[in-house]
Amino acid sequence: MEFRFDTQLLIEGCTLPQEELYQAITEKFQGDCLIAVGDEDVMKIHFHTNQPWLVLEYAASLGDIFDIVVENMERQENGLQG
């Protein structure tokens, strides 16, 4: 498994359109399976990465982050709670 953490969150008040947010995350962070969708009210991010704290820090600079979930997919793969 190349990227260990499934990182999900919502950003309220993000001023970047979803296409720009998607591009910014892919340029700034290593990872895969990125989903960046939403509108001017709320954006949802789903991203597999090894450094979720950096993604969270960046997202917090764009708006108010909430409903944050970071799951360790390596543990889940081994039958443990992620």
Residue 21 CA to residue 7 CA, distance in Å, equals 15
Sketch the domain layout of the chain as residue ranges: 5-76
Residue 45 CA to residue 81 CA, distance in Å, equals 22
Beta strands 5-12 and 32-38 are unpaired
User: What would the pLDDT profile of 12-63 be if each residue is shown by its tens digit?
Assistant: 999 899 999 999 999 999 999 999 999 889 999 999 999 999 999 999 999 9
Residue listed under structure tokens 């997919």: 73
Task: Give the residue, 76 or 26, on which the prediction is more confident.
Answer: 26
Provide the CATH topology of domain 5-76.
Alpha-Beta Plaits (3.30.70)
The 3-state DSSP class for residue 25 equals helix
